Amino acid sequence: MTTPLPPSAQEAMEAFSACPGWEQRARLLMQWGERLAPLSDTERSEANRVSGCESLVWLVGEYRDDAWRFRAASDARLIRGLLAVLLARVDGLDGPALQALDLADWFSQLGLGRQLSPSRSNGLNAVLLRMRELAETAAH
């Protein structure tokens, strides 16, 4: 049984599917990165920094109404775009759905899988791992 995509993930799927090639997807990725709500200086703390990323990445999560809402920021433009499509995919998920998410599959569906370098892939996996840790900690 497949869980339906959150509306923001459906929007990402439609937008990226419409791109004929990598250059258009990269441009779209940059545009999605501009959508990220900025984090305050206090949110850009060492405690919210995701380790395992080559770029600086911060992540804050909030659990309300039985669903997770995450916000993230990065110093790198392309990473901001990748974070934006990751956040679109996880928006509103509960802990078990977050644990079950296949990150590589999501980026492949968007046509971005092959363009992810190993370091970017590792960084995004570190972000997802941090999300899962926050969900796991909140569950206890």
CATH number of the domain within which 77 lies: 3.90.1010.10
pLDDT tens column, 77-129: 999 999 999 999 998 898 899 999 999 899 999 999 877 888 888 999 999 99
Residues in the chain: 140
Q: Mean pLDDT score of the chain, rounded to an integer?
A: 90
**Catalytic annotation present for 53:** yes
Domain with 116, as residue range(s), is 7-139
Q: Which of 12, 13, 53, 103 is catalytic?
A: 53
Percent of the chain past pLDDT 70, that is, above it, reads 96
Q: How many domains does the chain have?
A: 1
Quick one: pLDDT at residue 1?
A: 40
Average pLDDT over residues 34-48: 95
Say if residue 78 is exposed, middle or buried (CB neighbours under 10 Å; 0-12, 13-18, 19+).
Answer: middle
- Give domain status of residue 80, yes or no: yes
- Give domain status of residue 1, yes or no: no
Phi-psi region of 92 (alpha: psi -120 to 50; beta: other; left: phi over 0): left
- Give domain status of residue 12, yes or no: yes
Q: Is the pLDDT of residue 4 over 80?
A: no
Q: Is the pLDDT of residue 14 over 60?
A: yes
